[in-house]
Amino acid sequence: MSRTLAALAILAPLLVKAAVPLYGQCGGSGYTGETTCVSGATCVYSNEWYSQCLASSSSVKATSSTKTSSSTKSTSTTKSSSTKTSSSSTKTSSTKSATAVVTPTAITSTLPASSGYVALPTASVISGSFDGGMKRFDRAGSSGACQGQSETGEADAVFILESGATISNVIIGADQAEGIHCRGPCKLVNIWWQDVCEDAATFKQTGSGDVSYIIGGGAFHAQDKIFQHNGAGTVSISNFYASDFGKLYRACGNCDKSYERHVIVNNAKLDSGSAGVGININFGDTAKISNVCTTGKPTLANICCKYQGTTPGNEPTKLSCGSDSTSCIYSNVGSC
């Protein structure tokens, strides 16, 4: 008995240390790490790929808000169906849709505290998986430091991800020209950009079936784009917070090679931005946007805008903004 107690006494502190910190990953498909969160935090399911440790109070708040939103939606549907006049019914439905309140779940709108700081002299190339442990990384003092909206490239990035690579739990600091470049399909899990310089992340995958994922995290202060999609395939953005930005996502409209590009945005909060996503309808691009709220900037219409893609050296023509049934597809989109 005494040997057993002694063994437990040795293991106890190790078990405590193994708890996942606040904002850390605690589950998801393929995840093999610790699933128990630190005291005061709860493991919150985001999607099949990612669960995150969030403060227990915010988890409860998100759940109750979702229930309220569902209740409100149900009430408006009943009221609309009981309207006898067709024109009045259409008008009522449209008005309610424009003012509907949407509450994305498990969204964190505050930049997490960093656990340390690293200034990289050159871009860090990642193959496989890299967990940054919530340290802050940038390119201060190097050629990759922020250069405003000057055109920079892959060499100026903080991280370069090889095809199939995953990066998680990282804060990208303000002093960098390019945040992350993905050479092929990649996965960005709980990545935060303190201050976007030119682009937060650029996707260069070339396969029509390639999919890159942004799961969790957030970005602040992007004068232009947050995510730039230069390659083919699909970029999927979920559980994301964007604040003070030009566009959340832009499918390249004048790259050297034209691809059909697709974006999926699910469960996101857009705060003080000009537009949500920009796609090129002549290239066959599509956007599917669901469970997304805006604080009024961008407007509900500007959450998706359509362009006429062109060739290098020319600027794409903006055609229109707003939801439709083919290119910009909205589902549960409203005000925060």
197, 198, 221, 200: which is closest to 212 by C-alpha? 200
- Pick the more confident residue, 97 or 159: 159
Residue 96 placed within a domain: no
Average pLDDT over the chain reads: 84
Which range, of 77-86, 138-147, 185-194, averages the lowest pLDDT? Answer: 77-86
In this structure, are 51 and 146 located in the same domain?
no
Residue 292 placed within a domain: yes
Residue 32 placed within a domain: yes
**pLDDT at residue 14, rounded to an integer:** 44
- Over 80: is that where the pLDDT of 11 sits? no
Identify the band that residue 22 occupies on the pLDDT scale cut at 50, 70 and 90.
low
Boundary (domain end) residue, out of 56, 75, 99: 56
With vertex at residue 67, the alpha carbon angle to CA 61 and CA 68, rounded to the nearest 5 degrees, is 90
CATH number of 121's domain: 2.160.20.10
In this structure, are 151 and 48 located in the same domain?
no
Residue 82 placed within a domain: no
**pLDDT at residue 75, rounded to an integer:** 32
Which are the contacts of 173, defined by CB distance < 8 A and separation ≥ 6?
A: 117, 136, 137, 138, 140, 194, 195
Phi, psi at residue 75, to the nearest 5°?
-65, -45
Identify the band that residue 92 occupies on the pLDDT scale cut at 50, 70 and 90.
very low
Cβ 188 vs Cβ 160: under 8 Å: no
Q: What domain range is 124 assigned to?
A: 117-335
Which are the contacts of 162, defined by CB distance < 8 A and separation ≥ 6?
A: 125, 126, 127, 183, 184
- Over 60: is that where the pLDDT of 79 sits? no
* Per-residue 3-state assignment (H helix, E strand, C coil) for 235-252: EEEEEEEEEEEEEEEEEC
58, amino acid identity: S
234, 226, 319: which is closest to 273 by C-alpha? 226
Residue 101 placed within a domain: no
In this structure, are 191 and 322 located in the same domain?
yes
Q: Three-class SS of residue 46?
A: strand
In this structure, are 25 and 147 located in the same domain?
no
Mean pLDDT of 2-29: 59
Q: What is the pTM of this model?
A: 0.75
pLDDT in tens, 209-240: 999 999 999 999 999 999 999 999 999 999 99
Sheet (strand 50-55) strand order: 25-27, 50-55, 41-47
- Over 80: is that where the pLDDT of 98 sits? no
CA distances to 15, 282, 293, 320 from 288, in Å: 42, 17, 14, 16
In this structure, are 153 and 7 located in the same domain?
no
**pLDDT at residue 57, rounded to an integer:** 43
Residue 70 placed within a domain: no
Q: Three-class SS of residue 151?
A: coil
**Percent of the chain topping pLDDT 70:** 79
Mean pLDDT of 61-71: 31
In this structure, are 295 and 225 located in the same domain?
yes
Taking every pair of C-alpha atoms in the chain, what is the biggest distance, in angstroms?
81
Residue 66 placed within a domain: no
- Over 80: is that where the pLDDT of 73 sits? no
Cβ 252 vs Cβ 277: under 8 Å: no
Q: For residues 176 and 219, give the distance between their C-alpha atoms in angstroms, rounded to a whole number.
A: 14
**pLDDT at residue 204, rounded to an integer:** 98
- Over 60: is that where the pLDDT of 125 sits? yes
In this structure, are 124 and 268 located in the same domain?
yes
Mean pLDDT of 76-95: 35
In this structure, are 52 and 146 located in the same domain?
no
In this structure, are 315 and 175 located in the same domain?
yes
**pLDDT at residue 29, rounded to an integer:** 65
E strands along 60-128, which residues?
117-119, 124-126
β-strand pairing of 233-251 with 261-280: parallel
Mean pLDDT of 183-206: 97
Q: For residues 323 and 168, give the distance between their C-alpha atoms in angstroms, rounded to a whole number.
A: 33
In this structure, are 152 and 25 located in the same domain?
no
Residue 166 placed within a domain: yes
Q: Tell me which DSSP letter residue 312 carries.
A: T
- Tally of domains in the chain: 2
**CB hemisphere CA count around 223 (13 angstroms):** 9
In this structure, are 144 and 29 located in the same domain?
no
Boundary (domain end) residue, out of 33, 56, 79: 56
In this structure, are 44 and 168 located in the same domain?
no
Cβ 175 vs Cβ 146: under 8 Å: yes
**pLDDT at residue 61, rounded to an integer:** 31
- Over 60: is that where the pLDDT of 332 sits? yes
Boundary (domain end) residue, out of 41, 56, 71: 56
pLDDT in tens, 172-192: 999 999 999 999 999 999 999
Which range, of 21-30, 84-93, 270-279, averages the lowest pLDDT? Answer: 84-93
pLDDT in tens, 263-317: 999 999 999 999 999 999 999 999 999 999 999 999 999 999 999 999 999 999 9
**pLDDT at residue 323, rounded to an integer:** 96
- Over 60: is that where the pLDDT of 124 sits? yes
Q: For residues 272 and 298, give the distance between their C-alpha atoms in angstroms, rounded to a whole number.
A: 7
